[in-house]
Amino acid sequence: MHDKILLITAACYLVAVILLYVAVVEQSSRKRTLAAGITFIGVLFHIWAESQHWVTPTTPNINLLNILSLCALVTVAIPLATFPLKNSLFDASLIALPLSVLIVVAEGTISAPALEITRTSAHITAHIISSVIAFGVLSIAGVYAIFVALIDHLLRTHSLNKLVQTLPALDTLEGLLFHLIKAGFAVLTFSLVTGLVFVTDLFGQHLAHKTLLSIFAWIIFALLLWGRWKKGWRGRVAVRMTLAGIALLLLSYFGSKLVLEVILDRSWHI
């Protein structure tokens, strides 16, 4: 049943992105509205599918594809939620929807090892889930940052081919990028707070490097959001700082784990 729900979700997203592409090319508000409606149906099915991982079971089964799928849901829902607004970000779904189709199809077809949370402590569960969600949301923000850099480069070199002209406006992508960074930053903050409050021995539990790198990433994203608010930072500055923060999170989540388990033959203890 779960795989069928994911298939319906992917079909809705695929139809929606085709309609949205045609709507952008033809400047058709009717087709854009229809695309938003089908996207909304896909989001409902996507929520149903993800609830079977995160809500229904007594202990969530977490794997990389589940996390990416949840993040894909967020990246589709954010621009959709702005559709009724004057400065809508919905055109950015031209990038969000195809990525989400790939992730949803992968979730439904690829068997990934599950990491079941068996500890009954609520704060441990909250810390683990918030950590992976923060990483997932900010990683997808990194993908958007790459698209922002690509479009900015093409505009500067006057490479305005038809494909570039049908992509969302640079301002639209930057708007969505910062929405994702705000969401990821909030979850990352919660994750760090729960980790620092409840972890008893950073060095004894082999969490010092992971925690420090995560804090450095948090500082970069905090500085970026402050610069956006106070200085109007955008473009290349935003892209570079976003990718720098993502690089630190990659080192925090995977680099430290690789060193511990492969080189030092140890593991994290929470």
Determine, yes or no, domain membership for 246.
yes
Mean confidence (pLDDT) of the chain: 78
User: Highest mean pLDDT: which of 50-54, 169-173, 227-231?
Assistant: 227-231
Determine, yes or no, domain membership for 100.
yes
Determine, yes or no, domain membership for 183.
yes
Looking at this protein, which amino acid is placed at residue 107? E
The structure tokens 């079909």 sit at 11
Q: Which residues of 141-155 are buried (b: 16+ CB within 10 A; e: fewer)?
A: bbbbbebbbebbebe
CB 15, CB 38: distance < 8 Å:
yes
Q: Mean of the pLDDT values across residues 91-114?
A: 82
Determine, yes or no, domain membership for 195.
yes
- The answer on pLDDT for 203 being more than 80 is no
Question: What local confidence, expressed as pLDDT, does residue 16 receive?
Answer: 95
Determine, yes or no, domain membership for 269.
no
Q: Determine the Cα–Cα distance for residues 253 and 248; give it in Å rounded to an integer.
A: 9
CB 79, CB 96: distance < 8 Å:
yes
Q: What percent of the chain has pLDDT over 70?
A: 74
Determine, yes or no, domain membership for 198.
yes
* Domain assignment of residue 92, given as a range: 2-263
**Any alpha helices (H) in the chain, and if so which ranges?**
2-26, 29-54, 64-81, 93-109, 122-156, 162-166, 170-198, 208-230, 235-250, 256-258
Question: What local confidence, expressed as pLDDT, does residue 53 receive?
Answer: 74
Number of domains comprising the chain: 1
Determine, yes or no, domain membership for 180.
yes
The pLDDT tens digits for 1-45 are 778 899 999 999 999 999 998 888 888 889 999 999 999 999 999
Global confidence as pTM: 0.68
- In the DSSP assignment, the letter for residue 116 is E
The radius of gyration computed from the CA coordinates of the chain, to the nearest angstrom, equals 20
Determine, yes or no, domain membership for 133.
yes
Q: Which residues pair with 61 in a beta bridge?
A: 116
